[in-house]
Structure 1
Amino acid sequence: MAPRWGLSLPLSGIPLPAHRDLVRSLPDLGYTDLWSAETAGTDAFTPLALAAEWAPALNLGTAIAPVFTRGPALLAMSAATIAELAPGRFTLGIGSSSATIVEGWNGGVFHRPYQRVRDTLVFLRAALAGEKVSADYDTFSISRFRLDRPPVTPPDIMVAALRPGMLRLAARLGDGAITNWLAPADVAAVRAELRPGTELVARILVCPTADKDAARALGRLLISSYLTVPVYAAFHEWLGRGEMLRPMQEAWARGDRAAANAAIPDSVVDELIVHGQPDECRERVASYVDAGVTVPIMSVLPTGGDPAEVVRTLAPKG
């Protein structure tokens, strides 16, 4: 099978409609996949609806759509819509997200995330197959729901997973796992919790610049923002970075962000943020594939240049 090479959409600094020409050019540049995210920018599905029309050859996926911020039926409807627009080319990635997004930003309750992801996955399998669903799950109940427009080709469903329990769920009930915030050397630990041959998608932060200090400064801001969140802190404790990250986490807990950023070792930034000249970045992304990632998704960080041109320079055929 030919290697896959993904890009996270939309790009920072470009209005969503202005992505059209770039997206149309991606297959010729060697890109095979476009994946969306959902935090505080665009929703996960609208960019994929546009991309489905702009570039019918690309594989599309959500990485991820949170299971707490939409009801199960709405999540099924959103997924069915993209599956109809991109039959056989869409993967629905779901995950628990975090308490910050679920509770702080959406007024929900972040409770029993493993069970909620599992229950949503089981429900979606049935709903996207066109079944009429009435069931009492551990975390919600569904009464007589059936999609009016079930997709002819139901999408694969992948699970966002960081630690063993969710990784095993992804392998057991899902069509693969989606992960992020890891180094190539961490892939083996993640792979060890998955069945052989399980699809593994990884979002990789890429900062294509020769200015190492600028890349590390931006990397520190992102690391302190994410790896102080409990689910990510636990992930890196499991990966063996607990002691290295503890000074950062303690400073963050005191409310001293500057000290938190300063406490992050250069080695950690260099492990988790791909940076350097475009050819160096391509080689580093390829090392994730060599380590066992099936689909690397580049999330391109702003460097001050034209984001579309940056994507072109990072392309597999660049």
Structure 2
Amino acid sequence: MAEDLRLGLNLGYWQRTADDATGLVQAAERLGYDSVWTAEAYGSDAFTPLAWYGAQTSRIKLGTSVAQLSARTPAATAMTAMTLDHLTGGRLLLGVGASGPQVVEGWYGRPFARPLARTREYVEIMRKIWRREEPVTNDGPHYPLPLPGGLGKPLKLITRPLRADIPVYLGAEGPKNVALAAEIAQGWLPLFTFPDKIDTMYGTALAGARPDFDVAAMVMTMVTDDVRAALDGVKMMLTLYIGGMGAKTRNFHADIIGRMGYAEAAERIQALYLSGRKEEAFAAIPDELADGISLVGPPARIRERLKPWRASPVTNLLVMGPRDEETLRTVRDLVLG
């Protein structure tokens, strides 16, 4: 239980030249937000916007939610993280995740097999690199270093990291992946969180977590008197993720909705979406689900809806949606006040 929640701003994907959120990030820093986060899928990368915002702020932490494993080798991610952490005075929070087979195989052209083992090996290599205790070797099957049979030799990072223990977060949805996060990482980045159900869904997986383990939940947040319109906005997002962000036979987003108790709805939503009946898929999203994973409505309603979040294992709210300083201030007062 975390009565005293931390508060972050999740900007998601950088989409276009006009999408410069510097002013918003600076406002979040002034208002006491603990962190700002960016994402990547198959468009913008997660690190470049953080470097831009980090250069124009001084305190707010900078997180990736998440950098995709298959986009870079462990050494490339470790180098990028070390560089950005140095340039921003030790403010990086490195969120990484395996993504799903549709993106990994379709966009990066890499096999998706054994995501848990790959994640463990990836994180171990990064930490060896940052520690600089000796030239880096790895005998694992996914990222062997040096490459067997070649001319390579073990190497040590040239630059000394500002921090040898850059915090690592895992983006995870399945119980086994969440348990891995609790074992090897400083935090977990759940995409969809139903606070009333998190103990039932992940209590066992989180049982071995360190005392300061950070459960940093992304949550759509809209301050508005039009609750219907706000819930419809959440439902639009859920329609895309449940219906189209994953292969028909392997969609982790649909799976997590099923574990929340909406398996039949998730199956119907995906079937409708993939058959081109997107409006019907949208209509099939239960309002209860959309409301349960979000914080929407006028301030009094959001204040009441915060109670189950405070009673849950969540320690950090990463709000998605606020795009102006007034809304940031209202959310700050509700969560931290």
TM (norm. structure 1) is 0.88
Q: Is 2:201 aligned against 1:199?
A: no
Q: CA distance change for structure 1 residues 21 and 264 in 2, over 3 Å: closer, same or farther? A: closer
Contact 1:16-1:47 at 8 Å conserved across structures: no
User: Where do 5+ consecutive residues of structure 2 fail to align?
Assistant: 147-153
| Paired residues for 1:1-318 under 5 Å | 3-9=5-11, 18-130=20-132, 131-143=134-146, 144-154=154-164, 155-188=166-199, 189-194=201-206, 195-196=208-209, 197=211, 198-228=213-243, 229=246, 230-278=251-299, 280-281=301-302, 284-285=305-306, 287-300=308-321, 307-316=324-333
Contact 1:8-1:297 at 8 Å conserved across structures: yes
Contact 2:12-2:40 at 8 Å conserved across structures: no
Alignment partners' CA distance in 1, 2:13 and 2:325: 8
CA offset digits 1:226-281 (Å, max 9, x no partner): 12331112222233221232321222233321221111121112112321124533
Report the Cα offset of residue 94 of structure 1.
Answer: 0.9
Alignment partners' CA distance in 1, 2:227 and 2:45: 32
CA offset digits 1:65-119 (Å, max 9, x no partner): 1101112221111111121123443221111012232233333332221121111
Q: CA distance change for structure 1 residues 206 and 11 in 2, over 3 Å: closer, same or farther? A: farther
CA offset digits 1:30-76 (Å, max 9, x no partner): 21111121124431112222332322211221111110111222111
Contact 1:248-1:264 at 8 Å conserved across structures: yes
User: Where do 5+ consecutive residues of structure 1 fail to align?
Assistant: none
Q: The residue matched to 2:311 in structure 1 has which SS?
A: helix
Aligned residues: 314
Report the Cα offset of residue 213 of structure 1.
Answer: 2.7
Out of 7-16 and 152-161, give the one that drifted further.
Answer: 7-16
Report the Cα offset of residue 315 of structure 1.
Answer: 2.5
Alignment partners' CA distance in 2, 1:16 and 1:129: 39
Alignment partners' CA distance in 2, 1:238 and 1:4: 26
Alignment partners' CA distance in 2, 1:141 and 1:16: 41
- Give identity over the alignment, percent: 29
Report the Cα offset of residue 10 of structure 1.
Answer: 6.0
